Chain A
Amino acid sequence: MQLPPLVEPAADLSIDEVRRYSRHLIIPDVGMDGQKRLKNAKVLAVGAGGLGSPVLMYLAAAGVGTLGIVEFDTVDESNLQRQIIHGQSDVGRSKAESARDSIKEINPLVDVRLHETRLDSSNVEEIFSQYDLIVDGTDNFATRYLVNDACVLLDKPYVWGSIYRFDGQVSVFWNEHGPNYRDLYPVPPPPGMVPSCAEGGVLGVLCATVGAIQATEAVKLITGIGETLLGRLMVYDALEMTFREIKVRKDPEGEPITGLIDYEAFCGVVSEEAQEAAAGSTITVDELKDMMDAGKDFELIDVREPNEYEIVSIPGAKLVPKDEILSGRALAQLPQDKPIVLHCKTGVRSAEALAAVKNAGFKDAVHVQGGVTAWATRIDKALPTY
């Protein structure tokens, strides 16, 4: 979708700038006007990792006047396979500072602003409001929904990119003029279902392909040239070497975004302790059904709240709310003589309860992936989900 330029042009370019940007200036579509707009632009990269690296480096080279970086992490050796804004001597340093040094080496004319903090509901609006355009290169669903909702609330456009193994997805979201991220992905995937790059891996050079498209879209939005990816999702498959396009429309049924929410709870972020407890001690609803059908003797414990149990429950499940287990009050109610199977709505709370139950000595306990929601969608489709 063609959009008007996002940024007004700066008053002028210096002689140094004319020399530096001459290959842009002689493209009629960019020209002096476009380059002055880039000079005046303030772009914020959320994350200076795999996608943030090429985005920041190319936008710096292109002459974007102000580049902000939100990043709280430090450079790890395992980052260097793809996060090319950082080098060997940066290992252990702040990623934000390391990225700033690389940007300054590429283009000292760029004003770099660091936000060395974890982006959350309390700081996102204050940070985003300082910029014209946001580029999202974060690595988790909670932050992605946070970025989206903040951009919707502040009427900001943003360039979104996402990578996993050999696959990339990239688009532009701008609620005022087209769809937002929730029109593509209304709700996050069930917790633990979609592995991160840290868990599943990522082809290093994939970052360059997707990040370069993000930087391209940023330049187009700032200068108002070409057809942006607003309303289109580009899906890249590095193995097949294909780019395929998906049309994305605004969901007329989509719930309006009226404020920020608790994104960790929304995305069902599981604590490390719970993840450890769940590793190797997680069963699927199909396995649970098989255990029931085979007449196995076990205790199925639903760790949700009583009102949720009333809405829908798995046959035979006994209600013991999670807090009763975490506080230790309910441990005496747990059977010593048979295996324990815990479940909740989606598998987040049961994983937390599993950690507590295992710590209390019930080493054989397991929990059910996807909880009663998975049961209702896979085993007994007559049951409601909520």
Chain B
Amino acid sequence: MPVTVRYFAGARAAVGVDTETREAGTLAELVGQLADAHGERLERVLPACSFLVDGTSTRDRALVLAPGSVVDVLPPFAGG
């Protein structure tokens, strides 16, 4: 299923683009793909990231992605 992946902050810096389209059935499948496709720099960031599927942050990697879903990959930081 085609899903739109949007990268932010450190994840965007690791990938080099804001957005891309991927084919994935579940969140786990998608996250696996991203790590493989973008290499170590992104892989280092991913364990800290929130994944927002159509605006809802989800920790359930088995989540089935609906076609056309937007997945935001968002690393946290706490500086102030």
**Given known contacts A193-B48, A235-B9, A237-B9, is B55 in contact with A164 (CB within 8 Å)?**
no
The answer, yes or no, to whether B50 is at the interface (CB within 8 Å) is yes
Which residues of B are found within 8 Å of A185, using beta-carbon distances? 50, 57, 76
Q: Is A249 a contact partner of B55 (Cβ separation < 8 A)?
A: yes
* Interchain CA distance A262-B57 in the complex, whole Å: 23
Task: Return B4 CB to nearest CB of chain A, in Å.
Answer: 13
The answer, yes or no, to whether A132 is at the interface (CB within 8 Å) is no
Q: Is B77 a contact partner of A251 (Cβ separation < 8 A)?
A: no
Q: Give the size of the chain B interface in residues (CB under 8 angstroms).
A: 25
A212-247 vs B, CB cutoff 8 Å, 1 = contact: the mask equals: 000000000000000000000101010000101011
Least CB separation from A139: chain B residue: B80
Task: Return B6 CB to nearest CB of chain A, in Å.
Answer: 8
**Given known contacts A247-B55, A251-B58, is B47 in contact with A138 (CB within 8 Å)?**
no
**Given known contacts A246-B72, A249-B56, is B77 in contact with A167 (CB within 8 Å)?**
yes
Least CB separation from A140: chain B residue: B78
Q: Is A141 a contact partner of B76 (Cβ separation < 8 A)?
A: yes
Number of A-B contacts (CB under 8 A): 104
* Interchain CA distance A164-B60 in the complex, whole Å: 27
Which residues of A are found within 8 Å of B59, using beta-carbon distances? 186-187
The answer, yes or no, to whether A136 is at the interface (CB within 8 Å) is yes
Q: Give the size of the chain A interface in residues (CB under 8 angstroms).
A: 48
Q: Is B8 a contact partner of A244 (Cβ separation < 8 A)?
A: yes
* Interchain CA distance A47-B78 in the complex, whole Å: 12
Least CB separation from A233: chain B residue: B74
The answer, yes or no, to whether A350 is at the interface (CB within 8 Å) is no
Please report which residues of chain A, range 360-384, place their CB below 8 angstroms from some CB of chain B when the two chains form the complex: 370, 374, 377
* Interchain CA distance A246-B70 in the complex, whole Å: 10
The answer, yes or no, to whether A321 is at the interface (CB within 8 Å) is no
* Interchain CA distance A194-B72 in the complex, whole Å: 18
Which residues of A are found within 8 Å of B80, using beta-carbon distances? 47, 49-52, 136-139, 161-163, 197
Q: 6 nearest interchain CB pairs?
A: A189-B48, A247-B55, A197-B79, A164-B77, A137-B80, A167-B9
Interface residues, chain B, with chain A CB atoms under 8 Å away? 6, 8-10, 12, 18, 47-48, 50, 52, 54-60, 72, 74-80
